[in-house]
Amino acid sequence: MNFYSYLYFLCFALATYVVYLIFPKKARWTVLLLSGTAFYLFENLQLAVFLFAAAVCTFFTGKVLTSLQERFNTEKKELPKDEKKKLKAYYTKQKKMVVLSAVLVNLGMLLVLKYTGFFTYMLAAFMRPFGFSAEVKPLSFALPLGISYYTLQSIGYIVDTYRGKYKAEKNFAKLALFLSFFPQMTEGPIGRYDHLMPQLTAGKGYSSERFTKAAVLILWGLFKKTVISDRASYMASTVFNDYPRYSGTLIAVAVILYTVQLYTDFSGCIDIMSGTARLFGVELSENFRQPFFSKTVSEFWRRWHISLGTWFKDYVFYPVSLSKPFGALTKICTKSMTKFWASIVPTASALLVVWLGTGLWHGADIKYVVYGLYYFLIMLIGMVTEPLWIKLSDKLKLDRKSGIAEGLRVFRTIILVCFGMALFRVDSVTDFGAIIGKIFAFQDLNDIVNGQLFALGTDWQDFIIIGLGILTLLIVGILKEGKKDVLGAVSTGRIYIKWPVLMALIIAVIILGAYGADYGEVDNIYAQF
Amino acid sequence: MEKLLEILEEVKPGVDFENETELVDSGILDSMTIIRLVTAISDEYDIEITPLDLVPENFNSAKAIYELIERLSD
Amino acid sequence: MEKKENKEKNNKGILTYALKGVRILGFFLILGILLYMLQCMYYPKYNDQDNGMYDQNAHAFYAEPENTLDVVFMGNSEAYSAFSPLELWHEYGMTSFVCAKGASSMAEIEYNLTEFLKTQKPKVVVLETDVVFAPYTTKKLFDKNFQDEVETGIPIIRYHNRWKYTGPKQWFSPIEYSWKSPSKGQMIISVSEPYESEKLDLPDGAGEDYLNGRINPITKYYVNRIKSICEENGISLILVSVPNTLTGSKKNYQALNKYAEQIKVPLLDLQKEEASVGLDWTKDTRDGGVHLNTRGARKVSLFVGERIKKNYDIPDRRGSDTLSDLWDMDYNDYKKVVGGYLK
């Protein structure tokens, strides 16, 4: 069915595009707003009220913050220097209260709708040793579409206006558009107001170059999703859904396939959405930058789901690190620890907050908290052991910057990430432990040789296609790393380059897509947020 | 400027801070290193750096960092 | 002078647009040709499952000699479980076929009818009405029908996966549909899983509230299309409703009777005629009341066959020609398989 949901989406996008082009340039953004509303209503009429509430809250908060800032600017002109500081403190306090309440409202909606079940579960678990035992019914509410994305996007806007980065949006409808631009609704990327708004209101029209670039990106995303991701998903799901039945070898393959599935699914969908946005002259921020070329896990998270990482950096990590409590912590550390530890402990603490948040953002379950902690620990260990590595490689006269060294690092990162994905996929941490145990109890490659591998939903021909798909991604990735924008070059290239590539992509999706009677349905993984 | 280069060298040794102009863009200064740098700088120069200042343009080169410090010292 | 320059500019503008249009057309033309070539390669060349035929039983009609089928039964799994062409042959000399697919969409039925009419000239089309009450939401119904419209309209979408199973031999061979269904499309299941009583006790409503007694406009749209096709070809359309526990309910049957009156299509409501049909739900169902078995199919077929014979001019094709002999042979084979069971 998923193949057709993409078809519907593209039809919707095309219909919106036609109406958009008919409208005069200055009014085109209203078409985008209306299409976002229609898109949302298609999904779920009742839950739209939450998005509306978030838009209202965000809009008024922005206006209040900007007007407070302006009042401060006018008032401070008339004051002597020492009074200015007092005034500033007063206004900062005012602004802080406004921000806090707004964030509480917006974040609160997300927390209640998404995390109530989790909180009550944790509370019950916490109280149990104290004799409090009650059957906690898992409370779960239907989630408004994209709530995890638009909530962060709105909080970003609120904090930016607090910081005075830009003035608040004066037009409610325009702000509503900022939070409901339909290509972003299901899977992000999480956008920034100053980057997004000018593009949304520019009302760019048709240009054959932009249209081709958009089409190429959309087809590339469809290719990743239907040819690679969906194909890999069958074997991965078969094994993960019933892992006790399968040998460590098969589980290891499933973990790798799942990682492939997740990457091509998420980045493929983002490509389709970015291509769609491009039709309207909107370039969404980059969300993936060849993540599997990363040499460290830190780097991985700067190349994977980039908009989430930068959001946590700008709105959690930096504010926490530059906050007063944090400063106090740093002072205590500098006094009582060696220089080395004094530089690590404070940063690591801020990082811990980021990773608990990132983990939890992915889901309302203890498993996701562990997911975040997993990466945090890896990074922490990396930070702590870095001097040791430097010493070691100096002693052994090894070149840390050599191709082999970097290659090993990339390999190590991929392995660590695959394990992280396995944790992300399983139902619980205990399942993760069991799976790791099975993988390390590795016995033999029998199941690969005897054909069991090809009987789990993905046959040998599928594996070949997946392999070829990965090869294609690798080549395109290498070119992109070398700053060669392959897709862009193809889109603007000559007809004998453009046409074959476009046709090849279309034919690949139609012929090699994993859809139809022979294939089952596959869910979009990142659309449940 | 000298003091700044000293701090930079301490926070992230082995980098040619005098000539490098893409400290953030090329990933030499990641967010954690920047925080360590900022803590050291705000201590040393007695200035207050806010998240608003933490943009690549202000940290891509030693010169840019120095200019930021001068601006905040007013 | 200016007017002439402007006119030149305009001409250039129109020319560029025209060229752009030609290029776009050219792109889709070449793409279309490539896809068409692939379609010819992957389209099933023989009408059985091993060779990729979608739903081989329903499509076994391709192998039947032209213009030899006078009645066609269409619908979903209720249809292929309740109608027995070979019984109709033996009792009335009526040649018929069951062209039905489990959980069929209306779009698929319309397509099958169109295909059927390419080689056959039936006098009557019988539509089993369970498809009218298929328990889907409007969204799901739309998806299902849209999907089948796309797949039947652009066959490469339906058969694209055949790249895995075909080679040059299949790609370049011509279409030869000669696989026959020994039971003329009927699903032979001689198993009995009894319902709780001899008579079917139907509830007021079945399934979700929003489905109860309501016929979806999408379904109505397709019934109309099927009706039009029949009218255009001078074929009589009748509806037959075989009782079942899945979608059978008083509300549904009321709505059905009303609808049939509305669109002026004769309805044979086997619920109403229960006594005459003589179904015994402790013996005649293969799954506790959802579908009939071969015993039930025999009873229903004899009843429906008699009604059709009475009201429509269906020839008795028993005689001494090859067709009659072939059907007799098929019936004898059928008898060998189910004879003991039917006693």
Distance from the Cα of B34 to chain A's closest Cα (Å) equals: 9
What residue of C is the nearest CA neighbor of A496?
C27
Q: Which of A161, A179, A203 is the C-terminal boundary of a domain?
A: A203
Separation CA C174–CA A420 (nearest Å): 52
Distance from the Cα of A510 to chain C's closest Cα (Å) equals: 7
Name the pLDDT band for A356 (thresholds 50, 70, 90). Answer: very high
The CATH number assigned to the domain holding B51 equals 1.10.1200.10
Contact C74, C127 (CB under 8 A): yes
Number of H helices, E strands in chain A: 23, 0
What's the whole-number mean pLDDT along residues A185-203? 94
Separation CA A374–CA A379 (nearest Å): 9
Contact C231, C265 (CB under 8 A): no
Q: Provide the pLDDT for residue C108.
A: 96
For residue A474, being part of any structural domain is answered with yes
Asked if A268 and A131 sit in the same domain, the reply is no
Which has the closest alpha carbon to C305: C318, C320, C316? C316
**DSSP output for C183-212:** TTT----------SSSS----S--S-GGGT
pLDDT, greater one: A484 or C121: C121
Helix, strand or coil, per DSSP, at residue C214: coil
Q: Please report residues of C whose CB lies closer than 8 A to that of A208.
A: 20
Q: Measured between CB atoms, which of A319, A330, A351 is closest to B51? A: A319
Name the pLDDT band for C207 (thresholds 50, 70, 90). Answer: low
Contact A482, A474 (CB under 8 A): no
Q: Provide the pLDDT for residue C239.
A: 96
Q: Provide the pLDDT for residue A45.
A: 74
**B36:A343 CB<8 A:** yes
This prediction has a pTM of: 0.91
Average model confidence (pLDDT) for chain A? 90
Distance from the Cα of A12 to chain C's closest Cα (Å) equals: 15
Separation CA A231–CA A133 (nearest Å): 45
Q: Domain limits at A78?
A: 28-203
**A330:B39 CB<8 A:** yes
Q: Provide the pLDDT for residue C342.
A: 77
Asked if A463 and A356 sit in the same domain, the reply is yes
Residues 6 or more apart whose CB falls under 8 angstroms from that of A521 comprise A1, A2
In this structure, which amino acid lies at residue C172?
Answer: F
Asked if A448 and A469 sit in the same domain, the reply is yes
- Give the strand order in the sheet containing C236-241: C96-100, C71-75, C124-128, C236-241, C267-269
- Binding-face residues of A in 201-230 toward C, CB within 8 A: 208
Beta bridge partners of C97: C72
Q: How many contacts, defined by CB atoms under 8 Å, are there between A and C?
A: 44
Helix, strand or coil, per DSSP, at residue C125: strand
Q: Please report residues of A whose CB lies closer than 8 A to that of B49.
A: 322
Residue with tokens 């889709």: C28
* Best to test chain B binding among A65, A162, A343 (most B CBs inside 10 Å): A343
Separation CA C93–CA C72 (nearest Å): 14
Q: Provide the pLDDT for residue A389.
A: 83
Alpha helix (H) residue ranges in A363-395: 366-395
Residues 6 or more apart whose CB falls under 8 angstroms from that of A492 comprise A209, A212, A213
Between CA B27 and CA C52, with CA A472 as vertex, the angle to 5 degrees is 145
Separation CA C47–CA C65 (nearest Å): 15
Q: Provide the pLDDT for residue C160.
A: 95
For residue C20, being part of any structural domain is answered with no
What residue of B is the nearest CA neighbor of A383?
B32
pLDDT at C211 over 80: no
Q: Domain limits at C65?
A: 43-342
| Chain C interface includes A518 (CB < 8 A) | yes
Summarize pLDDT for A63-74 with one digit per residue, the tens: 999 999 998 888
pLDDT at A25 over 70: yes
Which has the closest alpha carbon to A177: A273, A33, A28? A33
Summarize pLDDT for A442-457 with one digit per residue, the tens: 777 777 777 788 888 8
DSSP letter at A203?
A: -
Residue B51: asked if its preceding bond is cis (omega within 30°), the reply is no
Separation CA A305–CA A149 (nearest Å): 12
Q: How far is CA C201 from CA A468, C14, C209, in A?
A: 58, 72, 19
Name the pLDDT band for A504 (thresholds 50, 70, 90). Answer: very high
Q: Please report residues of A whose CB lies closer than 8 A to that of C140.
A: none
Q: How many CA atoms, within 13 angstroms, populate the side-chain half-sphere of residue A173? A: 10
**C157:A1 CB<8 A:** no
Q: Provide the pLDDT for residue B18.
A: 83
Which has the closest alpha carbon to A487: A183, A342, A271, A249? A271
Asked if A174 and A259 sit in the same domain, the reply is no
Distance from the Cα of C204 to chain A's closest Cα (Å) equals: 31
Name the pLDDT band for A247 (thresholds 50, 70, 90). Answer: confident
Summarize pLDDT for A101-144 with one digit per residue, the tens: 999 999 999 999 999 888 888 888 888 787 776 666 666 788 88
DSSP letter at A88?
A: H
Beta bridge partners of C124: C71, C236
Separation CA B62–CA B5 (nearest Å): 7
For residue C34, being part of any structural domain is answered with no
Q: Provide the pLDDT for residue A81.
A: 78
For residue C219, being part of any structural domain is answered with yes
Alpha helix (H) residue ranges in A128-229: 147-163, 172-179, 182-185, 193-202, 208-222
| Chain C interface includes A21 (CB < 8 A) | no
**Number of Cβ atoms within 10 Å of the Cβ of A515:** 25
- Binding-face residues of A in 438-477 toward C, CB within 8 A: 459, 461
- Indicate if the alpha-carbon torsion angle A321, A325, A327, A332 is positive or negative: negative
pLDDT at C77 over 80: yes
Separation CA C285–CA C191 (nearest Å): 8
pLDDT over 90, % of chain A: 63
Contact C292, C242 (CB under 8 A): yes
Q: How far is CA B37 from CA A339, A393, B34, B61, C317, in A?
A: 14, 26, 5, 13, 97
Which has the closest alpha carbon to C111: C164, C58, C63, C56? C58
Distance from the Cα of C343 to chain A's closest Cα (Å) equals: 39
Asked if A309 and A427 sit in the same domain, the reply is yes
pLDDT at A334 over 60: yes
Name the pLDDT band for A395 (thresholds 50, 70, 90). Answer: confident
Separation CA A291–CA A227 (nearest Å): 20
Separation CA C101–CA A117 (nearest Å): 44
pLDDT at A276 over 60: yes
| Chain C interface includes A11 (CB < 8 A) | no
Residues 6 or more apart whose CB falls under 8 angstroms from that of A176 comprise A33, A52, A55, A59
User: For residues A107, A111, A112 and A117, what is the CA-based torsion angle, rounded to 10 degrees?
Assistant: 180
* Best to test chain A binding among B6, B28, B35 (most A CBs inside 10 Å): B35
What residue of A is the nearest CA neighbor of B14?
A390
Do B and C touch, 3+ Cβ pairs within 8 Å? The answer is no
Contact A503, C31 (CB under 8 A): yes
Residue with tokens 């074929």: C235
Q: How many contacts, defined by CB atoms under 8 Å, are there between A and B?
A: 38
Asked if A332 and A455 sit in the same domain, the reply is yes
Q: How many domains does chain A have?
A: 2
For residue A98, being part of any structural domain is answered with yes
Q: Please report residues of B whose CB lies closer than 8 A to that of A165.
A: 52
Which has the closest alpha carbon to C294: C194, C187, C181? C187
Query: What number is the ipTM of this complex?
Result: 0.92
- Backbone φ, ψ for residue C233 (5° rounding): -100, 10
Alpha helix (H) residue ranges in C103-204: 106-119, 138-153, 155-159, 168-172
pLDDT over 90, % of chain C: 74
Q: How many domains does chain B have?
A: 1
The chains found to touch B (3+ Cβ pairs under 8 angstroms) are A
Name the pLDDT band for A509 (thresholds 50, 70, 90). Answer: very high
Asked if A464 and A339 sit in the same domain, the reply is yes
Encoded tokens for C138: 């409007």
What residue of A is the nearest CA neighbor of B36?
A343
Q: Measured between CB atoms, which of B27, B36, B54 is closest to A347? A: B36
Q: Measured between CB atoms, which of A4, A511, A512 is closest to C143? A: A4
The CATH number assigned to the domain holding C210 equals 3.40.50.1110
Asked if A443 and A402 sit in the same domain, the reply is yes
pLDDT at A226 over 70: yes
Contact C300, C292 (CB under 8 A): yes
**Number of Cβ atoms within 10 Å of the Cβ of B63:** 13
Identify the weakest region by mean pLDDT among A3-17, B24-38, C48-62.
Answer: B24-38
Residue with tokens 């359309």: C237
Q: How far is CA C188 from CA A251, C180, C291, in A?
A: 42, 15, 12
Residue with tokens 């089409």: A215
Beta bridge partners of C125: C72, C237
Distance from the Cα of C210 to chain A's closest Cα (Å) equals: 18
pLDDT at C2 over 70: no
Summarize pLDDT for C90-133 with one digit per residue, the tens: 999 999 999 999 999 999 999 999 999 999 999 999 999 999 98
Name the pLDDT band for C205 (thresholds 50, 70, 90). Answer: confident
Q: How many domains does chain C have?
A: 1
Q: Measured between CB atoms, which of C27, C30, C160 is closest to A510? A: C160
Q: Please report residues of B whose CB lies closer than 8 A to that of A163.
A: 50-52
Separation CA C121–CA C109 (nearest Å): 17
Q: Measured between CB atoms, which of A4, A459, A502 is closest to C147? A: A4
Residues 6 or more apart whose CB falls under 8 angstroms from that of A59 comprise A168, A169, A172, A175, A176
Separation CA C157–CA A475 (nearest Å): 29
- Backbone φ, ψ for residue A187 (5° rounding): -135, 20
Residue with tokens 């249809």: C79
pLDDT at A459 over 80: yes
Q: Please report residues of C whose CB lies closer than 8 A to that of A512.
A: 160, 163
Average model confidence (pLDDT) for chain C? 91
Identify the weakest region by mean pLDDT among A209-223, C205-219, C220-234.
Answer: C205-219
Residue A37, Cβ density class (10 Å: 0-12 exposed, 13-18 middle, ≥19 buried) = middle
Q: Provide the pLDDT for residue A528.
A: 67
pLDDT at A150 over 70: yes
Contact C121, C331 (CB under 8 A): no
DSSP letter at C59?
A: G
For chain B, the residue count is: 74
Between CA C98 and CA C108, with CA C103 as vertex, the angle to 5 degrees is 65
Q: Measured between CB atoms, which of A299, A319, A351 is closest to B32? A: A351
Which has the closest alpha carbon to C77: C324, C238, C310, C287? C287
Q: Domain limits at B33?
A: 2-72
Asked if A198 and A221 sit in the same domain, the reply is no
Q: Provide the pLDDT for residue C206.
A: 66
Name the pLDDT band for C157 (thresholds 50, 70, 90). Answer: very high
Helix axes A429-440, A366-395, angle to 10 degrees: 40
**A502:C54 CB<8 A:** no
Asked if A221 and A192 sit in the same domain, the reply is no
What's the whole-number mean pLDDT along residues C234-258? 92
Give one word for A510, left, alpha or beta, with left for phi > 0 and alpha for psi -120 to 50. Answer: alpha
| Chain C interface includes A78 (CB < 8 A) | no
Q: Measured between CB atoms, which of C30, C31, C161 is closest to A516? A: C161
Asked if A409 and A493 sit in the same domain, the reply is yes
**B50:A163 CB<8 A:** yes
Distance from the Cα of A461 to chain C's closest Cα (Å) equals: 7
Separation CA A371–CA A429 (nearest Å): 9
Separation CA A227–CA A513 (nearest Å): 4
Q: Please report residues of C whose CB lies closer than 8 A to that of A518.
A: 161
Asked if A409 and A469 sit in the same domain, the reply is yes
| Chain C interface includes A496 (CB < 8 A) | no
**C164:A461 CB<8 A:** yes
pLDDT at C73 over 80: yes
Helix, strand or coil, per DSSP, at residue C80: helix
Q: Provide the pLDDT for residue C182.
A: 94
Contact C304, C266 (CB under 8 A): no
For residue A22, being part of any structural domain is answered with no
